[in-house]
Structure formats: C-alpha cells, structure tokens
Structure 1
Amino acid sequence: MNPLAQLPLEKARSVRVILTDIDDTITSEGMLTASAYAALENLQCAGFLVIPVTGRPAGWCDHIARMWPVDAIVGENGAFYFRYDRERKKMHQHFWAKPEELKGNRAKLDAIEKDVLSSVPGSALASDQAYRVADLAIDFCEDVPALPESEVDRIVSIFERHGAQAKVSSIHVNGWFGDYNKLSMAKTLLAEVFGLSWEQAKECVIYAGDSPNDEPMFEAFPLSVGVANIHAFEHRLKHKPAYIAKGHSGDGFAELAELLLSARQR
C-alpha cells in the first residue's frame, strides 16, 4: 500500500467515478461529519459520479439515494442498486434476486440468526436488520461490546456451514444467499446506468474502503484507496488497496476528495 500522496497526477486526473464504502470510510465512529459530507458534495458539484457501495440496508439506501449528494447506491453488499431521478422524482431499483427468491432466502437466514445468537454469546442482531431485504447482519461491535476476532470468525463459519456467503465489515458480519458481492452489482450499475464497460471502468473508477468486505473491490480496481483504519484489518486481507490515506475514516475520505479535486483543477 503506497501513501495516497504518491498517486500520480495523471492517474488522479483520469478518475471520473468514486465508488466508496460508508461505515468507517465516510463516517467516523458512527457519525457523518460535516467535512466528509462536504467532500461528497464537492466531488459531485465538480462533475464526478459519486456512488456509495455499502453493506447497509435497503431502508437506509432509499434515504441516501434521495437525500445525499450521490448519483446512485449499491446496498446490502451487492443485493441491489438504487438510483433516484431528481428531475422526474422517481426511484429506480434493481435487485439481484427475484421476489420469490428473497422470500425463500429469508427463511434460511432466520435459521442462521437463531444458530448464531445461541452459539456466540455477546453477538446481536444488527439494529438496522428491520430495514434489510436480502441479508442478515450480525453485530459484533457497533451497538455491543466488541467481540474477539475468534468469535467473529465463528460467526462467519456458522453462515458458511448453512451454505451462505459471509463477509466481515468494520462492525457487522453480513451473510446472504446468492452469487453476488459489492463488485458484481457495482459492475452492473456502471454498465446499465452509466454506460461504462468493465474495461472503461478500470481506467476511470477509484474505490475507497476500510475493511475485509471491500477486498473484491481492492482486487478489481487498479485505483483503490484504504483509509488509515484499514491497518486494523490488514492481516485479514489477501488483496490490499493500492494506496492508503493518512487520515482515518471520514478524514481519510476527505483527503482523497481533496486530492482528486486538486488534480482536476491543475
């Protein structure tokens, strides 16, 4: 991981699209700071496409697509994308699974929930679970005392034993049924909505993240950035971001925004 300040000017100038995680990448200690929100707004006002790619639930993503300065959002680790057309006042939604699949998967996830909560003391259902449509989120440090890493791994193993995918974020273990992740839905969104082929995307997209569930994005995009707090998860990553910011969380994201805006002005 090279310091973000070493990102070559010509590469910074090639960026047209910012894909970014939210929790502990844009937010800091669970809060959306003024500087991080201003960074989002400044990027969009400068003509960049700004697209959060998050593990957060559909209910949150509807709000973010409508009210944040973003052009679309991928949610629940790739289960869907939402795009709000402000001119027509219409929300466009695309889901990976059909409604009947979602219903069947929910029954299987309910069984996993019972297994995890009875097997891993101290774990809890994520407080935002009621707003989810496609996955199960188990809290290991957001609203509960932080669990040791061995217990986080135990939660992952329970998901996998039931045949589900599982990814670790900075606060939750998210699990789901379906052959998708953040990357697959981001590719779909970029192609269907913004007309970017995968070859084009690799040349003009930069991704920012902070945790193991961002690993498919770090691997796929030549331009990828970790905020400084990714050091806590470095030992869990086979594929690390190409660059790393000095700042933690939202400060690191603001640092990236400032670099991109400065490169465009120069």
Structure 2
Amino acid sequence: MRAIVEMPLEDARRINTLFADIDDTLTKDGRLPACAYQALERLLEAGIAVAPITGRPAGWCDMIARMWPVSGVVGENGAFYFSYHQESRRMRRVFAINDDQRADDRKRLKTVRDRILAEVPGTAISADQLYREADLAIDFCEDVPSLPASAVDRIKRIFEEEGAVAKVSSIHVNGWYGAYDKLTMTRRFASDVLGLDIDRDKDNIVFVGDSPNDAPMFRFFPNACGVANVLHFQGRIEAEPTYVTAAEGGHGFVEVADRLLAARKGRTAA
C-alpha cells in the first residue's frame, strides 16, 4: 500500500466517480464527522459522482439516498441499491434477490442466528437488524465488548457451514444467501444510474474502504484507497487497496477527497 499523497496527479485528475464504505471509512468512532460530510458535498459540487457502498441496512440506506449529497447507495453488502430522484421525488429500489426468495432466506437465517448466539458467547444480533431486508448482521464490537479475532472467525465459519455467504466488516459479520457482493451490485448501480461500465471505466473510479468485506472492491479498482485503519486487518484481508491514508476513518476519507480535488485544480494537496 502506498501513501495517498503518492497517487499521481494525472491519475487523480481523471477520477469522475467515488464509491466509499461508511462505517470506519466515512465515520470515526461511530459518528460521521462534519469534515467527511463536507467532503462528500465538495466532491459532488466538483462533478464527481459519489455513492456509499455499505453493509448497513435498507432502513438506513433509504435515508442516506434521500438526504445525503450522493447519487445513490448500495446496501447490505450488495443486496440492493437505492437512488432518489430529487425532481420527481421518487426512490428507485433494485434488489439482487426477489421478495419471495428474500423472505425464505430470512427464515433460514434464523437457524444460523440461533446457532451463532449459542456457540459464540459475547456476541449479539446487530441493533440495526430490524431494518434489514436480506442479511443477518452479528455484532462483535459495535454495541458489545470487542470479541477476539478467533470469535469473529468462528462466527464467519458458522455462516459458511450453514451454506451462507459471510463477510467481516469493522463491526459486524454479515451473512446472506445469494451470489452477490458489494462489487456485483455496484456494477449494476453504476450502469443503471450513472451510465458507467465499471469494467471499462474502472481507472476513472476510486473506492475507499477499511475492512475485509471491502476486499472485492480493493481487488477490482486500480486506484482503491484504504483509510489508515485498514492496516489493522493486514494478514486477514483477501485483497489490499493500492493506496492508504495517514488518518483513520472520516479524516482519512477527507485526505482522499483533497487529493482528487487538488488534482482538478492542478496543485498538490496540503
């Protein structure tokens, strides 16, 4: 991983789209700092399309799509995208799995939930589970005392033993049934909403993230960036970003935004 200040200005100058995780990428210590939100606004005003790509639930994503300065949001690790059209006041909701199948999958996930709670002491169902459409989120450090890496690995194995896909974020292990992830729904969102072919245009896109569930995005985008806390997962992440910031969380995200915006102005970011 190279420092974000080493991203060549010519590479930064051609970026027209930015995708970013939310938890511990835009946030810091569980809160969204004003500087990170302002960075989203500055990027959008500069003509750079912005979309969060998150593991957070549908209920949160509806609000984000409506109220944040973004083009849309991919949620629940790729289960859907939401995009709100301000002029028509209409929300576009596209899911990877149909309604009936999601209902059946939620029933299967109840069995997984019961097994995890019984076999991994100290864990809990995520507080935002009520607002989820497609996955099961197991909390290992957000609202419970932090569990050791061995417990997190055990949660992930139980999901997989039950035939589910499982991904580890900085706060949750998320599990679901279905062949999708952050990258597959980002591809669909980019095509439908932004008119982009990410396979063709990936050199013009930056993804910013922080944890193992961002690995498909880190691997795919040549200019992917990690905020500094991604370094906590070295050795436990399948693919690393090309660049890394000096600061953690939302403050690191501001470093990425500053680099892109400075390049557009033909100067070096401070």
* 1:75-224 equivalences in 2 (<5 Å): 75-224=75-224
User: What is the aligned length?
Assistant: 266
Mapped to 2, the partners of 1:247 and 1:191 lie a distance apart of 32
The aligned residue for residue 249 of structure 1 is: 249
Mapped to 2, the partners of 1:242 and 1:62 lie a distance apart of 31
Q: TM-score, normalization: structure 2?
A: 0.97
The aligned residue for residue 74 of structure 2 is: 74
Matched AA of 1:164:
A
Percent of aligned pairs sharing the same letter? 52
Q: Which runs of 4+ in 1 moved over 4 A?
A: none
Three-state SS of the structure 2 residue aligned to 1:116 is helix
Matched AA of 1:109:
L
Over residues 38-78 of structure 1, what are the superposed CA-to-partner deviations in whole Å (9 max), with x where a residue is unaligned?
01111111111000000000000000000111111000000
Matched AA of 1:114:
D
Which consecutive residues of structure 2, in runs of 5 or more, have no partner in the other structure? Answer: none
- Measure how far apart 1:192 and its partner are: 1.7
Mapped to 1, the partners of 2:148 and 2:198 lie a distance apart of 38
Q: TM-score, normalization: structure 1?
A: 0.99
- Measure how far apart 1:198 and its partner are: 3.0
The aligned residue for residue 49 of structure 1 is: 49
Over residues 159-181 of structure 1, what are the superposed CA-to-partner deviations in whole Å (9 max), with x where a residue is unaligned?
00100000000000000000000
- Measure how far apart 1:234 and its partner are: 1.1
Over residues 172-223 of structure 1, what are the superposed CA-to-partner deviations in whole Å (9 max), with x where a residue is unaligned?
0000000000000000111122121133331211000000000000000101
Equivalent pair of 2:212/2:238 in contact (CA under 8 Å): no
Mapped to 2, the partners of 1:227 and 1:164 lie a distance apart of 29
- Measure how far apart 1:122 and its partner are: 0.3
Matched AA of 1:218:
F
Three-state SS of the structure 2 residue aligned to 1:61 is helix
Mapped to 2, the partners of 1:108 and 1:22 lie a distance apart of 28
Matched AA of 2:190:
L
1:231 aligns with 2:202: no
